[in-house]
Amino acid sequence: MRYGFGVDIGGTTVKIAWFDENGQKLHSWEIPTVRENEGKQILPDIAAALQGFLAERDVNRADVIGIGVGVPGPVDSRGVVNCCVNLGWGNVDVCKELSALTGLPVKAGNDANVAAMGEYWQGSGREFNSMIMATLGTGVGGGIVIEGNLLHGTHGCGGEIGHMVLNRDETEVCGCGNRGCVEQYCSATGLVRLATRRLAEDAAPSVLRQLEKMEAKDVFDAGKQGDAVANEILERYYNCLGEFFANLCVVVDPEVIVLGGGVCKAGQVLLDGIRRGFERFCFQGVKGVKFAVAQLGNDAGSYGAFKLVLDAAG
């Protein structure tokens, strides 16, 4: 049996997991992400943690396939990061540097992309050939896997579906600097924004007006209780998601769209709403696409990162 590491670098912690080649997670732990000094300590810290683990367990290095890494920013097809604000990085050749520090093969990808790969391999996408994953959280992240291949893109921006433009008349600015991105409507933050805008339209009574600070969950809860305004907001939200996925499906035509992120806690009501919105806009030929909720949660990134290096090892 051969083994390897899946490493998911986040802005505050680095998640490290040790897998066997069948995808069984055998051990996992976290170390802090030291962002000071332009994040120069991050890769040496990871290398030290991995070396310590191998020494402690007395692992034969010939049995170690390598290290897969997820990075919270664009990673090009050679594993080079040109700029990652979340880690303080400028130009960093993750594969070359971490490989030099550990003597092991390294593969790297964008964190949302490797999370998609994780779900494709061991989560909700495992019975399907092609998949789009969309993570509906504070923002909208994504990843596209076609017949086992993860789409990194020329500039590492493949799967940045949260920044497709949904409304060119939008006046507010997205985190990326553009206006009218999917993320401004389809994220948890986007749902709250749609709700705030709807409440400002008239004085229709709604329990949402009594809240000091509204969250996405409040809108779903109010909808379940039969609040008419909340349900109107949710229908607008489902229309945004439906239009978004209808557009994606004529590009990729996947078998399944896997949904991750906090919004998915709404469960079946969300899936049903998305299906309604989707069928309003979709090209007839892609109508059969399935929608599913992600299964691996925060572990998806480390699974997918390990899969990158496993695939490269052949």
Q: What is the DSSP letter of 84?
A: B
- Look-up of token digits 């097809």: 77
Q: Which is nearer to Zn ion, 35 or 179 (CB)?
A: 179
> Binding residues for Zn ion, how many (CB under 5 A)?
5
Residues 149-168 binding Zn ion (CB under 5 A) are: 163
Largest CA distance in the chain: 69
- Residue 251 interacts with Zn ion (CB under 5 A)? no
Q: Which is nearer to Zn ion, 155 or 209 (CB)?
A: 155
Q: Which is nearer to Zn ion, 183 or 227 (CB)?
A: 183
Which range, of 51-59, 95-103, 169-177, 248-256, touches Zn ion by CB under 5 A? 169-177
Is the torsion defined by CA of 273, 277, 280, 286 positive or negative?
Answer: negative
Residues 6+ apart with CB under 8 A from 310: 4, 21, 65, 68
Q: Which is nearer to Zn ion, 42 or 166 (CB)?
A: 166
Q: Which is nearer to Zn ion, 187 or 302 (CB)?
A: 187
User: Within 10 Å of residue 12's Cβ, how many Cβ atoms?
Assistant: 9
Q: How far is the CB of 153 from Zn ion (least distance, A)?
A: 16
Give CA–CA dist 70/14, Å, rounded.
Answer: 10
Residues 180-199 binding Zn ion (CB under 5 A) are: 181
Q: What is the DSSP letter of 91?
A: S
Give CA–CA dist 118/125, Å, rounded.
Answer: 9
- Look-up of token digits 């749609």: 194
- Residue 112 interacts with Zn ion (CB under 5 A)? no
- Residue 176 interacts with Zn ion (CB under 5 A)? yes
- Residue 250 interacts with Zn ion (CB under 5 A)? no
- Residue 50 interacts with Zn ion (CB under 5 A)? no
List residues near Zn ion by CB under 5 A: 163, 174, 176, 178, 181
